[in-house]
């Protein structure tokens, strides 16, 4: 979902700022407190960096519904919205847009995780997430997960 945010200018007129992009992500946590991360495939923006699974929220879609859809599309798993626990969010300005990304914790899903988009997957202890190069918006989420999961 792309939104244009407005801020009053010095004359009191509304002046457009950078486009805001709403994306949603999940910290899938296994019984051993490992977190699933995915490596962005070649050809995509920020290719080679590791991120939490998720994606863009479409117009008319709630963040939770978008995350359920994205996890089905990317990882071939089914997640109930009630199993998504809001945890924290990232807010980061990139050159072309501002990204707002809620992060949900999820410990329960149906199905075996399959990388359906050619991405590499890794189950990582929260204490080791910082060893994986990530997009700038994901980096501030790591200490919070480390504090929660040890």
40 annotated as belonging to a binding site for a ligand: yes
According to DSSP, residue 10 is labeled: T
143 annotated as belonging to a binding site for a ligand: no
Distances from the Cα of 146 to the Cαs of 21, 110, 128, 141, in angstroms?
26, 25, 8, 9
95 annotated as belonging to a binding site for a ligand: no
DSSP characters for 56-98?
EPPTT--HHHHHHHHHHHHH--B--GGG-EEEEEEEEE-SSEE
| Contact partners, residue 118, CB within 8 Å, separation at least 6 | 41
52 annotated as belonging to a binding site for a ligand: yes
Nearest residue to 79 via CA among 132, 24, 123, 118: 24
For residue 15, count other CB atoms closer than 10 A to its CB: 10
Q: Binding site for 8-oxo-dGTP: residue ranges?
A: 40, 51-54
Q: Binding site: residue ranges?
A: 40, 51-54, 74
Q: Binding site for Mg(2+): residue ranges?
A: 54, 74
């Amino acid at each position: 979902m792309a939104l244009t945010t407005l801020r009053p200018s010095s004359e009191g007129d509304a002046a457009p700022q950078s486009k805001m992009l709403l994306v949603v992500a999940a910290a899938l946590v296994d019984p051993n407190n490992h977190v699933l991360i995915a490596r962005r495939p070649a050809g995509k923006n920020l290719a080679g960096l590791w991120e939490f699974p998720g994606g863009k929220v479409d117009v008319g879609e709630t963040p939770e519904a978008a995350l359920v859809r994205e996890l089905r599309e990317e990882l071939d798993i089914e997640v109930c919205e009630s199993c998504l626990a809001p945890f924290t969010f990232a807010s980061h300005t990139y050159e072309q847009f501002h990204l707002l990304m809620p992060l949900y914790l999820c410990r329960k899903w149906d199905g075996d995780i399959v990388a359906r988009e050619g991405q590499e997957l890794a189950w990582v202890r929260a204490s080791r997430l910082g060893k994986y190069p990530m997009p700038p918006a994901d980096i501030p989420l790591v200490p919070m997960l480390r504090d929660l999961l040890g």
